[in-house]
Amino acid sequence: MFFGPGCSPPKWGPILIPSLCLSPPSAYSGGMRIGIAGIAGRMGRLVVREAIAGGALLSGGTWRPGEVPPEGVAHYRDIAALAASSDVVVDFTHASTVQTHAAALAGAECAWVLGTTGLTAADQAAVQQATRRIPLVQAANFSPGVALLCTLAERLGAALSAEIYDAEILEMHHRQKTDAPSGTALALGAAVARGRGVTLDSVAVRARDGDTGARPAGAIGFASLRGGQVVGEHTLLFAAGDEHIALTHRAFDRAVFARGAVQAAFWVHGRAPGHYGMDDVLGTGGDH
């Protein structure tokens, strides 16, 4: 996001936008209605702040019984009602909601920004079905830096022989995270696999314990660490006998994910139905 001088910070409910004032890039346009699924959650609150700072109209959100949403937010009884009142819905909820959300958003012809990870094959099939009717930006990680890292991962996967360079991915997250490997780690692995002309499922090694034998040639290995309150750390390592190449991304504030999701929301508004990624939003190209 781009900020300019000379503006006082806007307020919304109890949320104070930082003292820098937004000067929206040309892709942003005021008046777009953003709805937020799971608005009372940690990511939902951050998306509220970034959406208002970007000049969008906040249509409201959904939240679970017992949660305390930001003050003054319109509450919708379900995702279908929220979709009917929004131009774009930003969704960082839970994999268990994805199929219901896909059907509701497609029915309302409401654009979708989806950051939920841990999806099953059936969940992803529902997402793909929805993209026949609506535009969707889906990403395991909305950080621009991670999107560019995935682009590099695919290029390195294509350039570095799988017979010589072993690909390993290490990720660490906070103790509350329930899925492993992380969606971002899997996205990096999928990028390497695309570069090598194989599917990730055919070469992924997600766990090692006991006498595992020698490492298979061409495998893409994963290791997951959990502890403390780490926002997210990912390292992609290509290890050969005579050199190592390591690419590392560390997120220090979840605001980077919310900012990227709002950028994606402005970008996807008015697009043709289809499945898009952060590489489309950033203009870096790539396959989905």
Residue type for position 75: H
* Sequence-distant (≥ 6) Cβ neighbours of residue 273 within 8 angstroms: 131, 132, 133, 134, 135
**pLDDT tens across the length of the chain (288 residues):** 332 333 333 332 332 222 222 223 333 445 799 999 999 999 999 999 999 999 999 999 999 988 888 888 899 989 999 999 999 999 999 999 999 999 999 999 999 999 998 899 999 999 999 999 999 999 989 999 999 999 999 999 999 999 999 999 999 999 999 989 999 999 999 999 999 999 999 999 999 999 999 999 999 999 999 999 999 999 999 999 999 999 999 999 999 999 999 999 999 999 999 999 999 999 886 544
Residue ranges per domain, the chain? 3-142+254-282, 144-251
pTM: 0.79
Q: What is the pLDDT of residue 125?
A: 98
Q: What is the pLDDT of residue 118?
A: 87
Burial class (CB in 10 A: 0-12, 13-18, 19+), 78: exposed
> How many CA atoms are closer than 13 Å to the CA of 200, on its beta-carbon side?
18
Out of 173, 234, 249, 269, the active site residue is 173
Tell me which CATH code domain 144-251 carries. Answer: 3.30.360.10
Q: In what order do the strands lie in the sheet with 57-62?
A: 57-62, 33-37, 88-91, 111-114, 135-138, 274-276
CA pair distance 166, 251, nearest whole angstrom: 25
**Cα 181 off chain centre by:** 15
Out of 101, 174, 177, 249, the active site residue is 177
Q: What is the pLDDT of residue 30?
A: 55
Tell me which CATH code domain 3-142+254-282 carries. Answer: 3.40.50.720
> Where is 253: in which H helix or E strand?
none
Indicate if 177 belongs to the active site: yes
- Strand positions, DSSP E, the chain: 3-4, 11-12, 15-16, 21-22, 33-37, 57-62, 88-91, 111-114, 135-138, 166-173, 204-205, 220-226, 232-239, 244-251, 274-276
Q: Are 98 and 89 in contact (CB under 8 A)?
A: no
CA pair distance 288, 284, nearest whole angstrom: 13
C-alpha Rg value of the chain to the nearest Å: 20
Burial class (CB in 10 A: 0-12, 13-18, 19+), 107: middle
